[in-house]
Amino acid sequence: MRFSGWKVFTEGLTGNRGWAPHWRDPEPKPEYDIVIIGGGGHGLSTAYYLARDHGLTNVAVLEKGYIGGGNVGRNTTIVRANYFLPGNSEFYSHSLKLWEGLSEDLNYNVMHSQRGLINLFHSDGQRDAFARRGNAMINQGDDAVLLDRDGVRRMLPYLDFDNGRFPIHGGLYHPRGGTARHDAVAWGYARGADRRGVDIIQNCEVTGIDIDGGRVTGVQTSRGPIRAGKVAMVAAGRSGQVAAMAGMRLPVESHVLQAFVTEGLKPVIDHVVSFGMGHFYVSQSDKGGLVFGGDLDFYASYAQRGNLPMAEHVMEAGMTLMPMIGKARVLRSWGGIMDMTPDGSPIIDRTDIDGLYLNCGWCYGGFKAVPASGHCLAHLLATGRPHAAAAGFRLGRFRDGVGLMDEEGTGAQHNLH
Amino acid sequence: MRIPCPICGERDRREFYYQGAAVALERPDPEAADDAWDAYVHLRDNPAGLTRDLWYHEAGCAAWIVVTRDTVNHEILDAELAGEAGR
Ligand SMILES: Cc1cc2nc3c(=O)[nH]c(=O)nc-3n(C[C@H](O)[C@H](O)[C@H](O)COP(=O)(O)OP(=O)(O)OC[C@H]3O[C@@H](n4cnc5c(N)ncnc54)[C@H](O)[C@@H]3O)c2cc1C
Ligand SMILES: [Zn+2]
């Protein structure tokens, strides 16, 4: 089944009875060329690009829950390419380009909306840092506009510009930044991979990784053993536990990140806005809810729920930045589990075990990475060489200290990211 | 989340600074191999379940505290002064 205007029209006339499931529900086969552990955004996009670009379709994605139940369906949907450091900047630039053609490529509307993203600054030092970041973004081939106070006021008149503590001096505007519908991204990639022959297997938990003489030979699952030539661990917040099945300890500590959404409102916030001092960011979903969040709760957690101090902190920052937000009622909040690396940047690499690959460490920013992450991991799996855009995402960089990407400039230490 | 400081009693999480897994108490020998230092500085067990973290009672008595905690439900089972926590 392909989506088209004509299909939507005729289904509308015939009671929407002709829609079929978007992917099959196959039984796991005893053996695959490649097994991907984790059916989140990154695992599904890896499978899709393995099939689309490399013709590798004897592939299974094993998901312990259901597609879209992990972080890919829990994030605040921001998509941007405003990174600064070499290694990161070309990767996120590559990802944004893939986003721009994604709905068409997948024949699935991921509702990628380039509504523009504005990072506010509140001091001279921050202005200088943002000017420099903007130049780096332009150099990497993306777009950035440094707005002064009046420039921001014209676009975001509802902010409290004269806040005594955090007066708004301006903002870095990234017009191609925006949001996308997170579930649709997972569903679109799942469908695209399935249509090319990949098996998407839900309710299948990997419980062991089989290694023989330094080489991976398959996995144990809640639905029986599956042999595999190559295995990719793509389990986001659960990366630590999945790697432990292969006897590995990772440079990862899992933390909780909360998000909040209000009742549906008429259009009021046109862009994605982030508050450079108070750790607050907000956008409005297409359904009308204000979607916002802030920092991690900053302690190791697998609870998929947060704690009150950070919820209060986020609300306070929101009220400081845009007092009007106080009129909106919060509908719900939730937490997701982030695989935090010491430098806040991801890992896409082979491991010391032959045939075993790792994709993790996406921290709080991995949704925007979904297309490029899969694209680059598929390249590594298929060709044995890292893709140029992800060549910096090495597992060994912490051990040898070469090529750390501490984008926040806070230091390569676990509790700082 | 409330953390029971051995000196001050149960206090709000906001009073504490989180340092991470309590590995800091197992500092390798300065001459130890790179692998030992990599494990100490970067690699983590990262358990879903019981863990021992280091917290600093920043807005209280300024003690470093080893907290035994369940990362799945945020329950706190024990807290002892880091100086008294065995290796
Ligand atoms: C509140 C919040 C807000 C965020 N906001 C943004 C944002 O605005 N922009 C942005 O770019 N990023 C954001 N992120 C980060 C982003 O969501 C994540 O980095 C990214 O989704 C992680 O990759 P994934 O989609 O593959 O993860 P997941 O969807 O979590 O996929 C991992 C999958 O692995 C499965 N799994 C785990 N263990 C096993 C096993 N043993 N066997 C089988 N399957 C297993 C899990 O069930 C899960 O489905 C946010 C995250 C959160 C929580
Ligand atoms: Zn105390």
CA separation for the pair A77, A176 (Å, rounded): 14
Total domain count, chain A: 2
Those residues with Cβ within 8 angstroms of residue A57's Cβ, 6 or more apart along the chain or in another chain:
A50, A51, A196, A197, A198
One domain for residues A222 and A319: no
**How are beta strands A280-284 and A117-121 bridged, if at all?**
unpaired
pLDDT mean over B11-17: 96
- Ligand 1 atom closest to residue A77's alpha carbon, by position in its atom list: 8
C-alpha pair distances (Å), A377 with each of A50, A341, A350, A374, B49? 9, 18, 10, 5, 30
Q: For residue A309, what is the DSSP state?
A: H
What per-residue confidence (pLDDT) applies to A164? 86
Binary contact (A253, B1; C-beta < 8 A): no
What does the pLDDT profile of chain A (417 residues) look like in tens digits?
789 999 999 999 999 999 999 999 999 999 999 999 999 999 999 999 999 999 999 999 999 999 999 999 999 999 999 999 999 999 999 999 999 999 999 999 999 999 999 999 999 999 999 999 999 999 999 999 999 999 999 999 999 998 888 999 999 999 999 999 999 999 999 999 999 999 999 999 999 999 999 999 999 999 999 999 999 999 999 999 999 999 999 999 999 999 999 999 999 999 999 998 778 999 999 999 999 999 999 999 999 988 999 999 999 999 999 999 999 999 999 999 999 999 999 999 999 999 999 999 999 999 999 999 999 999 999 999 999 999 999 999 999 999 999 998 888 889 888
Residues flanking ion ligand 2, Cβ below 5 Å: B 5, 7-8, 57, 60-61
- Residues A368, A390, single domain; the answer is yes
Residue A122 sits in the same domain as residue A193: no
Does the distance separating the beta carbons of A238 and B14 come in below 8 Å? Answer: no
Ligand 1 within 6 A of CB of A65 = yes
Q: How far is B46 from chain A (nearest CA, A)?
A: 5
**Same domain for A259 and A333?**
yes
Cα(B63)–Cα(B56) distance, integer angstroms: 6
- CATH number reported for the structural domain that contains residue A367 in this entry: 3.50.50.60
Among all residues of chain B, which has the CA nearest to that of A250? B43
Clarify whether residues A259 and A334 are in a common domain: yes
pLDDT of amino acid B86:
64
B15: CA distance to ligand 2 center in Å?
9
The one-character DSSP state at A412 is S
- Which CATH number belongs to the domain containing residue A128 in this structure? 3.30.9.10
Same domain flag for A122 and A217: no
Domain stop point among A340, A365, A388: A340
As beta bridge partners, residue A113 has A179
- Residues contacting residue A5 through CB under 8 Å, at least 6 positions apart: none
Residue A401 dihedral angles phi and psi, to the nearest 5°: 70, 5
Residue A332's domain comprises 113-176+253-340
Among A317, A340, A363, where does a domain finish? A340
| Residue at A377 is within a domain | yes
Looking at A308, A340, A372, which one is the last position of a domain?
Answer: A340
Query: In a 3-state reduction of DSSP, which class is residue A52?
Result: helix
* Residue A106 Cα, gap to closest chain B Cα (Å): 36
CA distance B46 to B68: 13
Residues of B with Cβ-Cβ distance to A301 under 8 angstroms: 71, 74
**What is the third-level CATH fold of B2-26+41-84?**
Folate-binding fold (3.30.2270)
| Residue linked to tokens 């590559």 | A94
Please indicate, yes or no, if residue A203 is contained in any of the structural domains.
Answer: yes
Looking at residue A408, its pLDDT comes to 87
Q: Mind giving me the DSSP string for A359-413?
A: EE--GGG-STTHHHHHHHHHHHHHHSS--GGGTT--TTHHHH--S---TTSS-S-
